[in-house]
Amino acid sequence: MARAREQLREAYAHAEGVMVGRTWAAGEAFTLADCAAAPALTYGEKVEPFSPAHPALTAYLARLEARPSFARVLAEVAPYAHMFPTG
């Protein structure tokens, strides 16, 4: 578990550098890359939080969560969120 968490922190540091100055993962347009990143960041934040140490990544996740389609997914999964293992 310790090595997996370390790898997540390394990935977060890399993603932070990539997201500085960007709105979306591939630039200024929302793309399939953002659709793929949304669940990984959402659950990654629960397992090994990156906020507030990575402000660009945190802001990116907030933009993803604000999109109506992803907000709907989050609302629909909310009743089952307690089943996700975070430990």
pLDDT tens for the chain, 87 residues: list them. 899 999 999 999 999 999 999 999 999 999 999 999 999 999 999 999 999 999 999 999 999 999 999 999 999 999 998 998 876
Q: Which pLDDT score, from 0 to 100, does residue 28 have?
A: 93
Structural fold of domain 2-81: Glutathione S-transferase Yfyf (Class Pi); Chain A, domain 2 (1.20.1050)
Whole-angstrom CA distances from 61 to 49, 76, 81 are 12, 18, 17
Mean pLDDT for all residues in the chain = 95
pTM of the model: 0.92
Q: Which pLDDT score, from 0 to 100, does residue 85 have?
A: 86
